[in-house]
């Protein structure tokens, strides 16, 4: 399947999703939202995909929302999508950036952002649901919403403090300033900085560290455990999930292979698949509905 705003390429167990509107600095549109949702659905359904790298075509990662509509850019009513009666619980008013980050949040494959250039607005908030952010030394970031007369979107008011802490999140969001890659590294937003030519090789090396050595079902479960249990009310919630995971995974063919490959000093070949072998206790949560 070809996408209008993305390049979708699977090679050697790694899916690369390239935001592909280089003439517009990969600015985010409704079509890009739809394309990204489908791409992540497609990745979860493909057992040959073990990790995902997201990057941008040209000189930007994503310059934020496409502002070509001018003053009406963020006005749903001006785009003919007015909800009768002003019902703010109507799902038709949902923030499209949030739809993307929540889909990435639910991903069963680890996701790595390779930030090759400017990442502003949704260009940075879409990264927050990804597991790792690697950046070019020339990248720039900005949570510019207050400077555009709006508020943080893409569920970033939840994700950003989780990643960088509340004081840093407040500074970046309340000032709305654009800041360089070294500040993003110092503030904990990105994992590492790289020369532009070294960025994708570094992202692929990290992706292969996962893809070549770990059990896909274990990675899928672990990713959801760490994201969802980070804000659990009590550690007993984590203990319940841990116990179910150790019990079911411990009896699996993957666990036997993991132990024997270690003892025999050979690379593991894990047989279980995400599409067919997730344990019966998964998912252990009820999905929240927009209301």
Q: What's the pLDDT tens digit per position in 152-201?
A: 999 999 999 999 999 999 999 999 999 999 999 999 999 999 999 999 99
pTM over 0.75: yes
Chain length of the chain = 291
Residue with tokens 């000093």: 265
Residues 200 and 140 in one domain: yes
Q: What is the mean pLDDT of the chain?
A: 94
% of the chain at pLDDT higher than 70:
93
Strand 119-120, strand 140-142: pairing:
parallel
Instruction: For residue 225, give its domain range.
Output: 214-291
pLDDT in tens, 24-77: 999 999 999 999 999 999 999 999 999 999 999 999 999 998 666 554 555 566
- Residue 158 and residue 161: Cα distance in Å, rounded? 6
The CATH number that applies at residue 124 is 3.90.226.10
Last residue of a domain, one of 211, 238, 263: 211
Number of domains in the chain: 2
- Residues 19, 130, single domain; the answer is yes
Same domain, 194 and 137: yes
Are 126 and 225 part of one and the same domain? Answer: no
pLDDT at 82: 65
Same domain (yes/no): 163, 196? yes
Q: Looking at the structure, do residues 223 and 198 belong to the same domain, yes or no?
A: no
pLDDT recorded at residue 71: 47
Region 275-284 average pLDDT: 97
């Amino acid at each position: 399947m070809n996408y209008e705003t993305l390049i979708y390429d699977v090679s050697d167990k790694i899916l690369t999703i390239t935001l592909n509107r280089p003439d517009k600095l990969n600015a985010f549109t409704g079509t890009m939202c739809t394309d990204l949702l489908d791409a992540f659905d497609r990745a979860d359904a493909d057992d040959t995909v073990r990790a995902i790298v997201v990057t941008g075509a040209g000189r930007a990662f994503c310059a934020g929302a496409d502002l070509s509509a001018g003053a009406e850019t963020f006005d749903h009513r001006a785009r003919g999508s007015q909800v009768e009666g002003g019902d703010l619980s109507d799902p038709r008013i949902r923030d499209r950036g949030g739809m993307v980050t929540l889909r990435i949040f639910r991903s069963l494959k680890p996701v790595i952002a390779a930030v090759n250039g400017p990442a502003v607005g949704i260009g940075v908030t879409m990264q927050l649901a990804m597991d790792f952010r690697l950046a070019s030394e020339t990248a720039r970031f900005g949570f510019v919403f207050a400077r555009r007369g709006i508020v943080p979107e893409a569920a970033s008011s939840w994700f950003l403090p989780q990643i960088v802490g509340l004081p840093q999140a407040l500074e970046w969001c309340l000032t709305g300033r654009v800041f360089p890659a070294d500040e993003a590294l110092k503030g904990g937003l990105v994992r590492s900085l790289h020369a532009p030519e070294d960025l994708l090789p570094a992202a692929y090396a990290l992706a292969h560290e996962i893809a070549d050595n770990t059990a896909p079902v274990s990675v899928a479960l672990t990713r959801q455990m760490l994201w969802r249990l980070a804000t659990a009310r009590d550690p007993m919630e984590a203990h319940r999930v841990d116990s179910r995971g150790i019990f079911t995974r411990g009896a699996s063919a993957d666990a036997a292979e993991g132990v024997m490959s270690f003892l025999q000093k050979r690379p593991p070949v894990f047989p279980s698949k995400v599409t067919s072998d997730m344990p019966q206790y998964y998912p252990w949560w009820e999905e929240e509905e927009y209301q």
